[in-house]
Every structure is written in C-alpha cells, then in structure tokens.
Structure 1
Amino acid sequence: MKKVLLLLANGFEAYEASVFTDVLDWNMEEGDGSTKLITCGLREKLICTGHLTVIPELLISQIDVTEFDALAIPGGYESMGFYEDAYSDNFLSTIQKFNKAGKIIAAICVGALPVGKSKVLCGRQGTTYHLNNGYRQQQLASFGVNVVNQPIVLDDNIITSSSPATALDVAFKLLEMLTSLDNTRHIKHLMGF
C-alpha cells in the first residue's frame, strides 16, 4: 500500500485538496487499489476556502514519515491564514523530513511556497502561482529556487505547479509516480478525461 500524507494548512484551497482525495480514491476503487490518503494538519479543526470545516485524521505531531510514500500540499489563501500554518516550523520540518527520506512531494499553486521556504528546493527548479505580476514566483525565487514559468515542474522527487488549473494534472502525476502510467491512464479514462 502506498500512503500519501495530505498536509493541510489552515486556509487551504478546498479544490486543490480534493483533487488528491478524488484521484487517489478512484485508484483505490477502480485502479490498482494501492494508494491510501491520510489527512494531516497542525490543528484539530481547519477552516478551508468556502469556510468549510475539516477535521484531519492526524495532527502533525503524530506523523511518522517512514510510514508514508508521498506528501501532498495544496495551496491556500493568505487572507485565511494559510501562511501562518504553512510557514510554521512544524510544517517546514515535515517537508524537510519527506525530502530527506527521498519521498515524493507534490505541491499545487502556492503550496510550493512552503516547499521553497523549507529550503528543499534551493538550487532546484520549481514554479508557483504565476499571475499578479509574478509576485508569488518572485517569492519562490527568494528562497533560492530556479523558477520555471511552466504549468507543472518536476525536479527529481518534487512536483510544483503554477495555478489551481493544474491541480488535477498534479494529482495524476503523483498517481503515476506511485503506481504506473498505464494505471493512471486507466483512472483518467474512467474519470472521463
């Protein structure tokens, strides 16, 4: 069983988290059945976009990185406190531990910013939200990341992306890296893509 930790900061984008839950659940039901997703946060209750309340299965203090094969990080809204959680020592330390163990890290949109701030992308390629005069890309570059203006950037074990529009593609890329291209094509077909 391939286990994915969905690391959620308060103010995360519901859509960006849901692509991971949906694609990996389709794989469990209709694919090779090899992926399991576990939600995690710094708090017992998180408020995401749309003011939905989410109760993560684990608190960040309960994580054992050795039990997981990948880390998934959706972006979020600054106005809802996303960066307060995403830039916290515990959040950044978790990213560092996954990278040090050679695990896959998949970040959507501004979910790439804590990955950059954790220094695991320093000197490597990545991308993040590209609109608003490239403000978020400049932030990512300030963390030592070689910013590539592409929808999705894969640098070894780390996937980053430029907007919510790329979310499903990131989830499918993660599934492909965890399983196979054929299995991912099968799931995409069944989901109507």
Structure 2
Amino acid sequence: MKKILLFIYDSFAEFEIVLFTTALNQEEFQLVTFSTKPAGETVTGVSSMSYVPTLTIEDIDVNEFEALVIPGGTTHPLLTHQPLQAIIRAFYDQHKTIAAICGGPALLGAAGILQEITFTASLTPDDHEYNDVMHWDNKLEQMLVVDRQVITATGSNYVQFAEEVLRRIGSVPEDEQNPLQYFREPSMN
C-alpha cells in the first residue's frame, strides 16, 4: 500500500483537500496526517473542527511516502519552522510529488523550492508576511500550475487540484479528463 502524507495545522482549509481525500483509492493508498504539534494535541481547521494527526513531525520518514499534500490556511506562523522545511525539501530533492494549494505554496517557498519552479497560489505581494519566501517573479497567474513534480493551485480551484494530484500519484488514470465530474456539476444523482 502506498502512503500519502498530509500536513495539517491550525487554520488549514479542509475544503481545499476534502475532494482529494474522499476520492483517494483507499484500497491502494493510505492517507497519513501529521502536524508540528506534540503527539496527542489536536489541530483545529478553518471550519473549527478538531483533528488528531496520525504522526508528529519527528515521526516522519520521507522514504515511506509517495507524496506530500499541503492545504492552504494561515501558513505564515510556520515559515521559520526548520523541521517542516527539511521535510518539504526532502520530498522535493527525492523527486516525490508535492501538492500545495492556496497559501500552502508559501511553505514551499520557505523550503527554498519556489525559487526553482513556476507556481501559483492564492497569495499576492499585498500579503506582506509572505514576501520573504514567495519569489513572485516565478508566480504564474493561473489556477493550476505543474512544474516538475510540484503541483500548486489557487484555493478555489480545489476540484482540478484534487484531480491532478490523483493523476500524479496514480489513483486515477493519467488520461482521465474529469475523474471528479460528479463534484463539478450538480445533478439529480
């Protein structure tokens, strides 16, 4: 069984990753959550729901995972967290899939990745607390950007984000155009 690592933290935007987690083939993939908090402490998402991460950051062995997913939220308090930066950078250096949405790409910037790739995010230079890490010259005004093994998206583009991540990790066929069509258009089914 392949393992996918999901970073959760106080203020993370659950809606940006819920389609991905719902559509993930549970027979083939195991989703493992982690945070920077001590073992047993809860994380509160933007919805005010609480979650207990599976692992602490100290428990992570990057070699056990196929991909890293980083939802958006208020990431600026985490920009100087060295162990988190090291994990993100290890995924990148090992050419593993990294997917970050909305404000999540700021953590890629803190790990020194955004200076090497093109990306998108739901952040602008007006978000001053992120300016030291964002490398705005590499930001494309697109809703979804894939550069090397890194997938980035704007927060409102969570359907296409989920589809691209599912394709990249092999949970759906690469040539399947709209694997989450059910969520794109309301129907009576």
| TM-score bucket of the superposed structures, by smaller chain | 0.7 to 0.9
TM score, norm. by length of structure 2: 0.83
Aligned runs of 1:63-74 on 2, under 5 Å?
Answer: 63-74=60-71
2:10 counterpart letter in structure 1: N
TM score, norm. by length of structure 1: 0.81
Which runs of 5 or more structure 1 residues have no equivalent in the other structure?
A: none
Q: Does 1:148 align with 2:148?
A: no
Tell me the CA shift for residue 101 of structure 1.
1.0
Hey, what does 1:172 align to over in structure 2?
163
Hey, what does 1:119 align to over in structure 2?
112
Which runs of 5 or more structure 2 residues have no equivalent in the other structure?
A: none
Contact map agreement 2:17 2:162 (CA 8 A) in 1: no
Contact map agreement 1:20 1:72 (CA 8 A) in 2: no
Hey, what does 2:56 align to over in structure 1?
59
Is the alpha carbon distance of 1:118 and 1:127 closer, same or farther for their aligned partners in structure 2, counting shifts above 3 Å? same
Q: Deviations over 1:69-117 (max 9, x none)?
A: 100000113xxxx422354112211100111111000001110111112
Is the alpha carbon distance of 1:129 and 1:190 closer, same or farther for their aligned partners in structure 2, counting shifts above 3 Å? closer
Contact map agreement 1:123 1:144 (CA 8 A) in 2: no
Structure 2 residue aligned with 1:37, among 31, 38, 61?
Answer: 31
Quick one: distance in 1 between partners of 2:147 and 2:129? 19
Contact map agreement 1:119 1:143 (CA 8 A) in 2: no
For these two proteins, the number of residue pairs brought into alignment is 179
Aligned runs of 1:1-193 on 2, under 5 Å?
Answer: 1-24=1-24, 27-28=25-26, 33-43=27-37, 44-77=41-74, 82-85=75-78, 87-129=80-122, 135-136=126-127, 139=130, 143-144=134-135, 146-162=138-154, 164-179=155-170, 180-182=173-175, 187-189=179-181
- Please tell me the root mean square deviation across aligned C-alpha atoms, in Å: 2.5
1:105 counterpart letter in structure 2: I
Contact map agreement 2:106 2:133 (CA 8 A) in 1: no
Report the identity percentage.
Answer: 27
